[in-house]
């Protein structure tokens, strides 16, 4: 039962990240009329740093 709750919380947190990315792109496109791909590149940069700290250096994920 606790794995179901944990998976639900992980899914909720991932969906919040994706919602923030989509909302930022929508606001920028609505105001400027131009797609700004800097949102996606910053999102991927954060994912890369998280992978580096967690995967290669063994830093605790929740820090």
- Within a domain: residue 17? yes
pLDDT of residue 39: 76
Domain total of the chain: 1
Quick: pLDDT tens for 7-20: 999 999 989 988 98
- Within a domain: residue 63? no
- Six token digits for residue 27: 């606001």
Alpha helices by DSSP H, the chain: 2-32, 38-51
- Within a domain: residue 35? yes
Residue 51, domain extent: 2-56
Residue 36: phi and psi, rounded to 5, are -110, 110
Residue 25: phi and psi, rounded to 5, are -65, -40
- Within a domain: residue 61? no
Is residue 39 within 8 A of residue 25, CB to CB? The reply is yes
pLDDT of residue 63: 62
Consecutive 10-residue averages of pLDDT for the chain (63 residues): 90 90 86 81 86 81 66
- Six token digits for residue 26: 């929508």
- Within a domain: residue 62? no
């Amino acid at each position: 039962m606790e794995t179901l709750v944990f998976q639900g919380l992980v899914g909720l947190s991932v969906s919040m990240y994706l919602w923030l990315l989509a909302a930022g792109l929508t606001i920028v496109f609505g105001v400027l009329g131009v797609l700004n791909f800097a949102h996606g590149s910053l999102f991927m940069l954060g994912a890369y740093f998280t992978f580096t700290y967690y995967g290669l250096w063994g830093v605790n994920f929740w820090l």
